[in-house]
């Protein structure tokens, strides 16, 4: 069967994965209100195409933190890729490198950062950091990723405690027992005694900790999980270089705004001072264009990447990225946009539905 859109990959991935794995990937917090609204919110936005424009050449390229990417479609940090495909994050990294887009590698990866970078040494990599209570561990991790050529540090801020994921509670322990986490151990230190990321990050982490983290690195620091104008303003005040507007795919605090709805207020709050990105609910090229029209520099994909990985490994991830890029290309042409720079708020309107 041909897989023509992201929904096709989702259906096929569910057939191929065990219920335990599927429940972990798709698991949402509480009643799943935010999980569902991430998708529904995009349907409340309509496009306003402009015609009689020369769209014979379409350019989907853009830049993030000064690095050029072939499309404003990148990969969010998601955990445990090996539950979907044996080579896990190594296959994901290879696909991202071929697509020339950014891959944010998770702290909860199935392989060490060294193994993942070795699989795709020419790729654009950012690293997601869950700040640990032990700052020696944070410093060690930062030093490792700098040495490996990572281009940014993404600090996830919306998980001081684990969200109430009811569905996962029935199977998560079995999943954890079969995955060996390595990111917070140095190469060869499987018995080092260092805490593993199975324990949650520091619940006391706060804005006052950011200067200490900034003193450890020259890499740009991006905050992932910002949803309000107040926190966006604080990010600018603390010299943060970018924000990923995100509600953790509806897996943390339920009943918060959909990412695409929160995006508008965050973009307005930073007023062009720093780059803003978003993840959550993107399933089509039209969704990508809507996010860019609302001010996102690019979008990040979470679950759809795992669907592609489960279906075809590296090739599946690349197909998911290619499908979304081609859909964006078509949407841009049909909307009268020749380049990403021409995508503006005038291209969308909000439906009353």
Beta-strand ranges (E) seen in 162-295 are: 221-226, 242-245, 275-279
- Asked whether residue 302 is marked as a ligand-binding residue, the answer is yes
CA-closest candidate to residue 90, choices 125, 63, 64: 125
- Asked whether residue 78 is marked as a ligand-binding residue, the answer is yes
- Asked whether residue 251 is marked as a ligand-binding residue, the answer is yes
Q: Is there a catalytic annotation at residue 248?
A: yes
Is residue 126 within 8 A of residue 150, CB to CB? The reply is yes
- Asked whether residue 280 is marked as a ligand-binding residue, the answer is yes
Q: Which residue has 């930062």 as its token pair?
A: 142
- Asked whether residue 144 is marked as a ligand-binding residue, the answer is no
- Asked whether residue 165 is marked as a ligand-binding residue, the answer is yes
Structure tokens at 218: 């020259």
Structure tokens at 320: 């998911």
- Asked whether residue 130 is marked as a ligand-binding residue, the answer is yes
- Asked whether residue 295 is marked as a ligand-binding residue, the answer is no
- Asked whether residue 303 is marked as a ligand-binding residue, the answer is yes
Residues 6+ apart with CB under 8 A from 80: 24, 88, 108, 109, 110, 175, 179
Q: Degrees (nearest 5) of the Cα angle 231, 237, 238?
A: 90
CA-closest candidate to residue 332, choices 5, 59, 43, 7: 59
CA-closest candidate to residue 292, choices 321, 322, 332: 332
What is the distance between the alpha carbons of residues 48 and 90, in angstroms, rounded to a whole number? 40
- Asked whether residue 283 is marked as a ligand-binding residue, the answer is yes
Q: Cα separations (Å) of 274 from 224, 294, 309? A: 13, 15, 32
What is the distance between the alpha carbons of residues 69 and 42, in angstroms, rounded to a whole number? 24
- Asked whether residue 281 is marked as a ligand-binding residue, the answer is yes
- Asked whether residue 122 is marked as a ligand-binding residue, the answer is no
- Asked whether residue 317 is marked as a ligand-binding residue, the answer is no
- Asked whether residue 183 is marked as a ligand-binding residue, the answer is no
Catalytic residue among 81, 125, 238, 248: 248
Known binding-site positions for FMN: 77-79, 106, 128, 130, 156, 224, 246, 279-283, 302-303
Enzyme catalytic residues: 248
Known binding-site positions: 77-79, 106, 128, 130, 156, 165, 224, 246, 248, 251, 279-283, 302-303
Known binding-site positions for glyoxylate: 165, 248, 251
């Amino acid at each position: 069967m041909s897989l023509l859109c992201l929904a096709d990959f989702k259906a096929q991935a569910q057939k191929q994965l065990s219920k335990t794995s599927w429940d972990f990937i798709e698991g949402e917090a509480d009643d799943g209100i935010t999980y569902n609204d991430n998708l529904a919110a995009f349907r409340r936005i309509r496009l306003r195409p402009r015609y009689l424009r020369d769209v014979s050449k379409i350019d989907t390229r853009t830049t993030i933190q000064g690095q050029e990417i072939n499309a404003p479609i990148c990969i969010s940090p998601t955990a445990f890729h090996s539950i979907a495909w044996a080579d896990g994050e190594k296959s994901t990294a290879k696909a991202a490198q071929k697509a020339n887009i950014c891959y944010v590698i998770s702290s909860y990866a199935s392989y060490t950062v060294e193994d993942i970078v070795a699989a795709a040494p020419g790729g654009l990599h950012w690293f997601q950091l869950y700040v640990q209570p032990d700052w020696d561990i944070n410093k060690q991790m930062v030093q490792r990723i700098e040495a490996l050529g990572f281009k940014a540090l993404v600090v996830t801020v919306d998980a001081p405690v684990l969200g109430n994921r009811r569905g996962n509670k029935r199977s998560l322990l079995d999943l954890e027992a079969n995955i060996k986490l390595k990111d917070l151990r140095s190469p060869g230190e499987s018995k080092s005694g260092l805490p593993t990321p199975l324990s949650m990050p520091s619940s006391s982490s706060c804005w006052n900790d950011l200067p200490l983290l900034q003193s450890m690195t020259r890499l740009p620091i991006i905050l992932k999980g910002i949803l309000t104008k107040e926190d966006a303003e604080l990010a600018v005040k603390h010299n943060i270089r970018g924000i990923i507007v995100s509600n953790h795919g509806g897996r943390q605090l339920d009943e918060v705004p959909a990412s695409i709805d929160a995006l508008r207020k965050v973009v307005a709050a930073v007023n062009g001072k720093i780059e803003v990105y978003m993840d959550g609910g993107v399933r089509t090229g039209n969704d990508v264009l809507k996010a860019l029209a609302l001010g996102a520099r690019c979008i990040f994909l979470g679950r759809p990447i795992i669907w592609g990985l489960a279906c075809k490994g590296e090739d599946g991830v690349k197909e998911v990225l290619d499908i979304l890029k081609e859909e964006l290309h078509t949407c841009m042409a049909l909307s009268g946009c020749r380049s990403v720079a021409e995508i503006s708020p005038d291209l969308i309107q909000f439906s009353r539905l």
